[in-house]
Amino acid sequence: MSRAFLEEHREIWRRKPVLQDVYSVWFEALLGRIPAGGLVVEIGAGPGFMAEHARRVRPDLRWIASDLIEAPWNDLAADGLRLPLRPGQVDTLVGLDLLHHLASPALFFAEAARVLRPGRSLRMIEPWVTGFSYPIYRFLHQEGCRTDLDPWRPFGVRHSAEKEAFEGDNAGPWRLVQTTSAERWQELGFAPPQVDLFNGFAYLFSLGFRRSSLLPRPLAPALLAVDRIAAPLSRQFGMRALLSWERR
């Protein structure tokens, strides 16, 4: 992944406001339970969209947007596995579409446990596997979706530098939650995660970060309303999850 790639995504974001409408639902869900006035560090901020939204709607938070690639719209260029932060300095760690790209999630959780204050949380928005989403992620998405992968070594390498930066597997977070015991989470310093599922019909019709879209912006509120109304069916139709781990 390069700075040019991030700039391309920023351009699409500006030219495609319906994408902002779709993502704002996930941003709001992630921000909703963050305590007021705390220090929030975003890992893998990339194009900087979530930080812009958070600073607009939650000015009470001290938000640091970090990414491995240096960019003027982010605050910190740092490896998420080796953060230049003191132990227990952070109130909340957040990430969007980060976990399913990590070569060694255990190293990430160890670093998250180090910098988080006890009782505070790690909150991430990630892809999620359901009967509806699996064929989409498996056959229509540029990333993989292997439901039999080892979630702690999803790419067969130990360090992210040994794989393509944007290589990901959408089944990774789902496998991690489904196969990891409470004892293993406790060893890593966390309580087992809370999972909140979201439907993604509006996201599908927006075509994501493709330049085109099948969702005219005036129709976006209606399709987002369908996502909300169909929330009780998210175990069958969900495409995204908000995963929340509390630091022990």
Written in H, E and C, the secondary structure of the chain is CCHHHHHHHHHHHHHCHHHHHHHHHHHHHHHCCCCCCCEEEEECCCCCHHHHHHHHHCCCCEEEEEECCCCCCCCEECCCCCCCCCCCCEEEEEEECCHHHCCCHHHHHHHHHHHEEEEEEEEEEEECCCCCHHHHHHHHCCCECCCCCCCCCCCCCCCHHHCCCCCCECCHHHHHHHHCCHHHHHHHCECCCEEEEEECHHHHHHCCCCCCCCCCHHHHHHHHHHHHHCHHHHHHHEEEEEEEEEEC
Question: What percent of the chain lies above the pLDDT cut of 90?
Answer: 94
More confident of the two residues 167 and 162: 167
pTM of the model: 0.95
In the predicted structure, residue 131 carries a pLDDT above the cut 90: yes
Q: Distance between CA atoms of 217 and 167, rounded to whole angstroms?
A: 30
Q: How long is the chain?
A: 248
Average pLDDT over residues 105-133: 98
Average pLDDT over residues 1-27: 95
Looking only at the bridges linking them, the beta strands covering 76-77 and 62-67 are parallel
Q: Which of 78-87, 154-163, 187-196 has the lowest mean pLDDT?
A: 154-163
Contact status, residue 52 vs residue 10, Cβ threshold 8 Å: no
Residue 150 has phi, psi (to 5 degrees) of: -85, 110
Average pLDDT over residues 30-37: 94
In the predicted structure, residue 1 carries a pLDDT above the cut 70: no
The whole-number pLDDT of residue 151 equals 97
Domains and CATH numbers, the chain: 3-246 (3.40.50.150)
The whole-number pLDDT of residue 165 equals 74
Average pLDDT over residues 9-33: 96
In the predicted structure, residue 104 carries a pLDDT above the cut 90: yes
pLDDT digits (tens, 9 = 90+) for 193-228: 999 999 999 999 999 999 999 999 999 999 999 999
In the predicted structure, residue 168 carries a pLDDT above the cut 80: yes
The whole-number pLDDT of residue 157 equals 85
In the predicted structure, residue 161 carries a pLDDT above the cut 80: no
pLDDT digits (tens, 9 = 90+) for 52-84: 999 999 999 999 999 999 999 999 999 999 999
